[in-house]
Amino acid sequence: MSRGIRLSRLFVVTVILTLALTLPVLAGAHTWRVNEVFSNAAGNIQFIELRECCGGNFETGVNGQMLTSGTRSYTFSGFSIPPTTANKHLLIATPDCAALPGFPTPNYIIPAGSVPFFNTGGDFVKYAVYDTLTFASVPTNGVHSLNAGLVVACNTPTNYAGTTGSINLGCSTLGDVDGSGGVDGGDIAGFVRVKTGTPIGGDNVTCAEYCTGTLAGDITAFVNDLL
Ligand SMILES: [Ca+2]
Ligand SMILES: [Ca+2]
């Protein structure tokens, strides 16, 4: 083999190796799922949480994809997603929701002109062509949200950095189930009714929702407020 051919082969190999090592990992976007939707009754306070479902670490190509409902659409833009993405969350919120004290900083803000983004009386929220959460209703009591699988639970908005919060728009003083302005013995009967699934008019259901994740935990928290 002549020196010239060897040099040109070396050059070709070098170019191929350089390309292989410098090409970015192809960014994906198809493993994000609609994990949680929340709304108040008026619909001005809404958030949507996506979750990377499957351990993909380079699902960074969300910008340019669309979030849609029956009547609205939003094209993701403005937040650059750094890898790694596995099992992380993306938080999309309306301006009024983003402004709530203690609410985790959303990654994306729905423009005011697209609020409410979804209809709490029946709608869908769809991420690109990859996932759709279709529902007949979304809770509007200010503390419960609708999760993947149509599970109703306390809201848990989580942003890409992993900051999680929980909002309770329906109750100003947790434990004050009778709305007297304080937590005392007058709240016990209502608390028990709510927790046994038999609230009556005047019981503030959201004030019995401590969101500890268990009945025992909520009871302990309520008793602590009573003492
Ligand atoms: Ca959540
Ligand atoms: Ca009370």
Q: Tell me the per-residue pLDDT of 145-180, one tens digit each, with 9 for 90 and over.
A: 999 999 999 999 999 999 999 999 999 999 999 999
Smallest-distance ligand from the CA of 36? 1
Closest CA to 213 of 147, 159, 158, 154: 154
Helical ranges in 23-117 per DSSP H: 95-98
Ligand number with the minimum distance to the CA of 148: 1
Give the C-alpha separation, 189 to 200, whole Å.
Answer: 11
Query: What's the gap in Å between 179 CA and the centre of ligand 2?
Result: 5
Rounded to whole angstroms, what are the CA distances from 37 to 28, 43, 79, 133, 223?
23, 12, 20, 9, 31
**d(CA 153, ligand 2 centre) in Å:** 24
Does domain 32-154 bear CATH number 2.60.40?
yes
For 84-131, write each residue's pLDDT tens digit.
999 999 999 999 999 999 999 999 999 999 999 999 999 999 999 999
pTM of the model: 0.86
* 183-226 pLDDT, tens digit each: 999 999 999 999 999 999 999 999 999 999 999 999 999 999 99
Q: Quick one: which ligand is closest to 151's CA?
A: 1
Give residue 27's pLDDT band: very low, low, confident or very high (50, 70, 90): confident
- CA 188–ligand 2 middle distance (angstroms): 9
Where along the chain do its domains lie?
Answer: 32-154, 185-226
CA of 88 to the centre of ligand 2 (A): 39
